Each structure stands twice: as C-alpha cells, then as structure tokens.
C-alpha cells in the first residue's frame, strides 16, 4: 500500500532492548504528559447500546462483512480509528547509541459481531465460524502487504482484559517484528524439532490424549486442554490434532470444528467462572518468508484469574492457584 501523505507521522515507535532482545511499542500518537498518569482514573467500558460505536455500522465503510439470509450483517471488519500501527512506505529505522528504533508500521482492524449483548460464548457456532472466516480472509490479504511479518489476532473481553467497548469485537494488528512471547515459543519448538526431529506440540497432544486429565473437550479435528504448565488458573489452549504450522492454511471444514471447539471452551468458562473477563489470541507461524514447519499453531484463552504483583514482575514466574487437572475436570462438568 502506497503512502499517500508526504508528511507521514507514525502513531507509535518500536524500541529494541539490546539485552533482552525484545521490541517494545511506545504509543507516541497517544502520548501523555507525565503528570497525567497520577490523575488517571480506571477506564470504564462503553456498555450501553445508545453509546456504542459498533451498534450502527450499516453506513460504516467495511473492509469485509458476512451477512445472514436476510442480508443483515453478522460479522463486519472495519479499520481501527485509533490504531497503534499504521501503513507506511518506510520503517524509518534508526540507531540511537546502543539502541534501535523503527516506526510502528502495520495495519489495525476490528472484527465485530452484530449482537451487542452476546459474547462469543453465547452466539451460535455458525456465527463463530464467520468470525474465524474473517480472521483467515483478512490474514491472507494482510500477510502480503509491505512490512508485514506477523499478523496478530486477539480478543479482549471485559474491562480487566483491556476492553474499553463492551460490544464484542476482536482485533487484527500486523507488525514488522516477531513479538517476544511468540519468539520464545518458536525457539523452543525449533530446538525440540532439531533434537527430536518431531513437533513438541504433537508430542504434548499425544501425551494429553493418553493421560486424559487435562482435556476439556475434543472433536474430530481439535483438542482443548488446560496446559500442564498453565500460567494462570483455567488457562485453555485449542490445538489442531494434526500437525499444522500455519493458521491461514486451515480448510473450511476444519473451521467448523474449530468454531465448535471455541464455543465449548468459552461457554464452559462462562458457566464455570460466571462470565469472566478474558483474553484470547492466536499463536501461528510468522509470514516473514522463513520456514517454520516445526511450529504448531493454536489459540490460547487466558481468563483474568490472576494478578501480576512484585514476584511475577520481578521474576517472570507466574503463579496459578489451581492445578490444571482440577480446572479441566471442573470445565468438563460445565455442559
């Protein structure tokens, strides 16, 4: 996409930590004065239909939309009006002493479902399938854009999960870097592949199917588990049973089974924890042109059951307050 503006100003800046090798995003376009943080109050969600910017999108320009049999929209993709990343013809890379910076170049889009009141846990499987269709279709388009090395897909549900608008919606953000969490996951799976000549996630799934204690749900193509080393209580992961490195290559019939796995996962969490706030996100192989056949894509669902305090922040070691075996057993009972 060509930059039409001659005075492009990025809404964000990526900064590189030479010690941890992590890239950090500084939202320069949303910059605040230091004294403003002391006065800042907790953000309240826009919750009423009357105040909701997503309830009347009929006239909003769509990037993509799916309709029902009556020609009413069910799922709509629009550009994010407040993007953390925006497209440009240049990364504007710089070195600042021992540090590196580049502009936050990328695309930011919203995937919105029609019903204001119903979360993904409460809508039909057929509508969840449409959401997954939107994820895949936008992924396939965006991965070919300039400076897109990863397509991040995530969903925030509830104020403590970072949602400022109650109306259910997911976000798609592309960026020119591989984020630290995914990079660690890629490195771990690559090392296992090198040493064992097989996929670590496939080995984990084989063990989980034999052991059975941490399985929440399974169907023909997907396995839902509470991970053996869950970071937080009631963490859930959804894996394709067959080895697949790239989410965007999922077949249409497989998406039907993935939609069912999502419905079962989210509705069981909804019942078990009484509609908790949560985040979910996709981990898939990057689209940067390298071979990641060793990786195994999956979705991670993280309910807000824990708090990062001094120990967690200082050590990076997370504390979960329930064994994943007991969490999975409790979730299996929620039907």
CA distance 258 to 279: 17
| Residue 166 located in a structural domain | yes
What CATH number does residue 109 fall under?
3.30.428.10
Dihedral, CA atoms, 30, 33, 34, 39, nearest 10 degrees? -90
Residues 154, 28, single domain; the answer is yes
pLDDT band at 1 (very low <50, low <70, confident <90, very high): very low
pLDDT at residue 15 is higher than 60? yes
Q: Which residue has the higher pLDDT, 117 or 307?
A: 117
Triad 272, 225, 300: Cα angle to 5°: 85
If asked whether residues 286 and 213 sit together in one domain, one would say yes
Mean pLDDT of the region 132-139: 98
Residues 174 and 298 occupy one common structural domain: no
B/e letters for 199-214, b = 16+ CB within 10 Å, e = fewer, are bbbbebbeebeeeeeb
Considering Cα of 264, then 265, then 267, then 272, what sign does the dihedral take?
positive
- pLDDT for 40 equals 54
Which of 22-31, 70-79, 162-171 shows the lowest mean pLDDT across its residues?
A: 22-31
In a domain, 1, yes or no: no
What pLDDT is stored for residue 4 in this prediction? 44
pLDDT, greater one: 93 or 58: 93
The verdict on residue 4 lying in a domain is no
Last residue of a domain, one of 179, 208, 238: 179
Pick from 6-10, 115-119, 231-235, 283-287: least confident: 6-10
Average pLDDT of the residues of the chain: 91
Q: Which residues contact 4 (CB under 8 A, 6 or more apart)?
A: none
With 60 as the cut, is the pLDDT of residue 259 above it? yes
What percent of the chain has a predicted confidence (pLDDT) above 70?
92
CA distance 248 to 228: 27
Q: Of 9-13, 293-297, 326-330, which range is least confident? A: 9-13
- Domain assignment of residue 223, yes or no: yes
Residues 190, 124 share a domain: no
d(CA 56, CA 1): 29
136 contacts 248 by C-beta, under 8 angstroms? yes
Per-residue pLDDT band at 99 (split at 50, 70, 90): very high
| Assigned domain for 3 exists | no
Provide the 10 A C-beta neighbour count for residue 69.
Answer: 5
What is the tally of structural domains in the chain? 2
Q: Which residues of 87-121 are buried (b: 16+ CB within 10 A; e: fewer)?
A: bbeebeeeeeeeeebbbbbbbbbbbbbbebeebbb
Residues 217 and 151 in one domain: no
∠ CA(114), CA(118), CA(120), 5° rounding?
85
Are residues 162 and 188 located together in one domain of the fold?
no
262-309 pLDDT per residue, tens = 999 999 999 999 999 999 999 999 999 999 999 999 999 999 998 888
| Angstrom distances, CA of residue 324 to CA of 56, 214, 295, 328 | 41, 6, 23, 6
Residue 56's pLDDT band (cuts 50, 70, 90) = confident
Instruction: Please report which confidence band the pLDDT of residue 17 belongs to, taking 50, 70 and 90 as the band edges.
Output: confident
Indicate whether 233 and 86 sit together in one domain: no
Within a domain: 117: yes
Q: 4 or 101: whose pLDDT is higher?
A: 101
Give the mean model confidence (pLDDT) for residues 87-95: 95
From 240, 193, 175, select the one nearest 12 (Cα to Cα). 175
Query: Domain check: are 163 and 289 in the same one?
Result: no
pLDDT (average), residues 254-267: 98
State yes or no: pLDDT of 6 exceeds 50. Answer: no
User: 162, exposed or middle or buried, with CB in 10 Å at 0-12, 13-18, 19+?
Assistant: middle
Task: With respect to residue 186, please indicate whether it lies within any of the assigned structural domains.
Answer: yes
Question: Which of 241, 250, 249 has its CA nearest to residue 218?
Answer: 241
Helix, strand or coil for residue 272?
helix
Same domain, 166 and 71: yes
Same domain, 84 and 149: yes
Average pLDDT over residues 232-256: 97
Residues 261, 268 contacting (CB under 8 angstroms): no
What number is the average pLDDT over the span 242-265? 98
pLDDT bracket for residue 39 (50, 70, 90): low
Q: Indicate if 271 and 316 belong to the same structural domain.
A: yes
- Top pLDDT among 51 and 100 is at 100
Query: Is 96 found in the same domain as 17?
Result: yes
> 177 or 306, which is more confident?
177
Q: State how far the alpha carbon of 83 is from the alpha carbons of 109, 175, 198, in Å.
A: 8, 12, 39
Q: Is residue 322 part of a domain?
A: yes
Choosing from 125, 146, 179, the residue where a domain stops is: 179
Query: Which of residues 152, 179, 206 is at a domain's end?
Result: 179
Identify the pLDDT of residue 237.
98
List beta partners, residue 174.
Answer: 151
Range of the domain at 327: 181-332
Report helix, strand or coil for 169: strand
């Amino acid at each position: 996409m060509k930059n039409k503006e001659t005075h492009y100003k990025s809404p964000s800046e990526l900064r590189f930590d030479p010690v941890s090798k992590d890239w950090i995003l500084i939202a320069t376009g949303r910059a605040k004065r230091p004294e403003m943080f002391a006065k800042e109050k907790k953000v309240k969600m826009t919750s009423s239909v009357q105040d909701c910017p997503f309830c009347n999108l009929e006239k909003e320009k769509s990037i993509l939309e799916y309709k029902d049999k009556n020609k009413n929209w069910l799922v709509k993709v629009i550009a994010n009006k407040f993007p953390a990343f925006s497209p440009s013809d240049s990364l504007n890379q710089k070195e600042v002493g021992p540090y590196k910076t580049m502009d936050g170049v990328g695309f930011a889009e919203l995937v919105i479902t029609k019903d204001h009141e119903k979360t993904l846990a409460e809508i039909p499987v057929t509508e969840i399938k449409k959401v997954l269709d939107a994820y895949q279709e936008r992924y396939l388009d965006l991965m070919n854009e300039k400076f897109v090395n990863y397509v991040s897909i995530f969903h925030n549900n509830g104020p403590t999960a970072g949602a400022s608008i109650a109306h259910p919606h997911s976000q798609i953000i592309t960026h020119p870097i591989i984020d630290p969490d995914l990079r660690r996951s890629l490195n771990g799976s690559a090392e296992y592949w090198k040493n064992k000549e097989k996929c670590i996630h496939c080995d984990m799934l084989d063990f989980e199917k034999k052991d059975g204690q941490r399985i929440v749900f399974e169907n023909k193509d997907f396995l839902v588990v509470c991970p053996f080393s869950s970071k937080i209580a009631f963490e859930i992961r959804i894996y394709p049973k067959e080895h697949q490195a790239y989410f965007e290559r999922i077949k249409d019939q497989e998406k039907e089974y993935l939609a069912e796995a999502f419905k079962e996962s989210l509705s069981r969490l909804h019942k078990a924890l009484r509609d908790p706030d949560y985040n979910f996100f996709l981990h898939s192989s990057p689209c940067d042109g390298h071979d990641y056949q060793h990786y195994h894509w999956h979705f991670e669902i993280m309910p807000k059951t824990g708090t990062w305090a001094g120990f967690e922040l200082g050590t990076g070691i997370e504390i979960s307050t329930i064994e994943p075996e007991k969490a999975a057993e409790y979730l299996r009972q929620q039907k």
